[in-house]
Homo-oligomer: A and B are copies of this chain.
């Protein structure tokens, strides 16, 4: 049994939860993955999921972690008191450090104590890090009030553009056939409307609005040949950059970019990356940052070499 002090690092997001045991000197165990750990909708269930994933990570390690460092989505505007008892219930350490998943993403891309992070997935949020802590946040307000340029926003613009095309109010777009092919079987009642428009209307009336985010990938796919798709992606990139620019002090330090809409294959990601230049660093998730925060809590070294080693180990 290794006696170097160690911790469980866990990154709990809206689509998955990942945990790993990390020692003070940066040795990492196996990364364990589980279901969604965002506590906004159902905190009890999220806490149970996170605790199960942590227990599996602990079981897969030869180390005996005495600390849990959790980076958690959705805790900016609410507490998450359900997590510590759920961890205790799994026989895990009672000492829990819980911070926003924005810090997990940020420290997955940099060791700088000051900088910015921009995450554009289904939602869109930017934050400033000062002295290693969050000092300001912009947007992340949800699809109704904000999330400018997010996957939901893009998908919503796609759906409205397709509706306008089918309705004779907007320009023809290749997005229309893509979206119609993606609808499940729906009743195509029409009357004075075309059957395709009636189908889209019925679909929209029977699904939660947030499902429109699934059309975002179609905008990315059509952006090189369809002006409507290109315009939507261009506006999304402008929104993301404007949200970033509204942070105090954001012209200084690195900018860590995360989220599916800012990925390498995305025209939005390419445009944002091109504007930010050498300051930009892409990350694919936040578990490396959670591990770096855990090493910091354990008193280990958190320099660039440590981050590179952790990132390398988590890939392996």
Contacts and interface: CB of A to CB of B under 8 A. Distances in A.
Interface in A122-165: 127, 134-139, 141-142, 144-146, 148, 156, 159-160, 163-164
A138 B194 CA distance: 11
A167 B146 contact: yes
Interface stretch (A197-205, A260-268, A275-283): A197-205
A260 B35 CA distance: 47
B242 A201 contact: no
Nearest to A164: B146
Given A141-B201, A160-B145, A209-B209, A169 B76 contact: no
Contact of A163 (B78, B137, B146, B163): B146
A163 B192 contact: no
Which interface class (under 10, 10 to 19, 20 to 34, 35 or more) fits A?
35 or more
Interface string A12-29: 000000000000000000
Contacts of A198: 77
A212 interface: yes
Nearest to A205: B142
Contacts of A191: 76-77
Given A77-B201, A160-B146, A167 B189 contact: no
Which has the most chain B C-beta neighbours within 10 Å: A168, A198, A200? Answer: A168
Interface in A72-89: 76-78
A209 B141 CA distance: 14
Nearest to A167: B138
B76 A192 contact: yes
A159 B145 contact: yes
A243 interface: yes
Contact of A167 (B139, B156, B212): B139
A66 interface: no
Contact of A200 (B145, B189, B201): B145
B77 A212 contact: no
Given A77-B190, A139-B169, A144-B159, 13 more contacts: A76-B191, A78-B189, A134-B192, A136-B192, A138-B169, A141-B163, A141-B197, A144-B156, A145-B160, A145-B204, A146-B160, A167-B246, A169-B242
14 contacts: A77-B201, A78-B189, A127-B192, A134-B192, A135-B192, A138-B168, A142-B204, A144-B212, A145-B163, A146-B167, A148-B169, A167-B246, A169-B243, A169-B246
Interface of A: 76-78, 127, 134-139, 141-142, 144-146, 148, 156, 159-160, 163-164, 167-169, 189-193, 197-198, 200-201, 204-205, 209, 212, 242-243, 246
